[in-house]
Amino acid sequence: MADEAYSWETDFQWRSRRNFIETWRDEYPEDRLASLAMCWSNMKFFGCRYPEKVESLVNEMESKCPPVPKPEKRPPKRSIIIENFSVYEPSDQVQNLNPISILTESAQKSKKTINFQELQSTNLFTCAVIIQDKLVATGEASNKKDAKRNAAENALDVLKSCQPVVKKRKIDHDAATKVTKTELTMKAYEEASVIPESNLGNQLLRKMGWKGSGGIGKEGQGRAEPVMVTGVDGKQGLGVNQDTALHKGSVHKVILDFINSSDQDMKFSPELSKEDRALVHQLSKRYGLRHQSYGKDAERYLVISKNLYECEK
CA 125 vs CA 104, 118, 140, 187: distances in Å: 21, 8, 6, 61
| pLDDT for position 113 | 95
Rounded mean pLDDT of the chain?
80
**Structural domains present in the chain:** 11-64 (no CATH), 87-168 (3.30.160.20), 170-192+242-308 (3.30.1370.50)
Give the pLDDT mean for 12-27: 91
| pLDDT for position 172 | 80
What's the rounded Cα separation, in Å, for the pair 305 and 9?
Answer: 48
Give the pLDDT confidence of 232-262 residue by residue, as tens digits: 455 555 445 544 456 677 788 888 888 888 8
| pLDDT for position 187 | 63
| pLDDT for position 286 | 86
Tell me the H-state helices in 172-273: 181-191, 200-207, 248-259
Give the pLDDT confidence of 49-93 residue by residue, as tens digits: 888 999 999 999 999 999 988 877 666 656 788 999 999 887 765
3-state secondary structure of 242: coil
What's the rounded Cα separation, in Å, for the pair 249 and 236?
Answer: 16
Buried b (16+ CB within 10 A) or exposed e, 137-156: bbbbbeeeeebbbbbbbbbb
Give the pLDDT confidence of 207-216 residue by residue, as tens digits: 777 666 666 6
What's the rounded Cα separation, in Å, for the pair 279 and 98?
Answer: 32
Between 94 and 18, the higher pLDDT residue: 18
How many whole angstroms from its chain centre is CA 210?
Answer: 56
Tell me which residue of 170, 185, 167, 141 sits closest to 273, measured CA to CA.
Answer: 185
Ranges assigned E (strand) in the chain = 87-89, 114-119, 125-131, 134-141, 165-168, 177-179, 265-268, 290-294, 301-305, 309-311
Residue 228 has pLDDT above 70, yes or no: no
Between 256 and 7, the higher pLDDT residue: 256
- Quick one: pLDDT band at residue 96, thresholds 50, 70, 90? low
| pLDDT for position 253 | 84
Burial class (CB in 10 A: 0-12, 13-18, 19+), 239: exposed
- Quick one: pLDDT band at residue 111, thresholds 50, 70, 90? very high
Give the pLDDT mean for 299-304: 90
| pLDDT for position 11 | 86
Give the pLDDT mean for 38-50: 86
% residues pLDDT > 90 (the chain):
25
| pLDDT for position 275 | 86
- Asked if residues 163 and 87 have their Cβ atoms less than 8 Å apart, the reply is yes
Tell me which residue of 62, 65, 24 sits closest to 43, measured CA to CA.
Answer: 62
| pLDDT for position 1 | 43
Looking only at the bridges linking them, the beta strands covering 134-141 and 125-131 are antiparallel
| pLDDT for position 235 | 55
3-state secondary structure of 6: coil
Give the pLDDT confidence of 127-183 residue by residue, as tens digits: 999 999 999 999 888 899 999 999 999 999 999 888 888 877 777 888 888 888 877
| pLDDT for position 262 | 81
% residues pLDDT > 70 (the chain):
77
CA 61 vs CA 25, 52, 124, 307: distances in Å: 12, 14, 60, 57
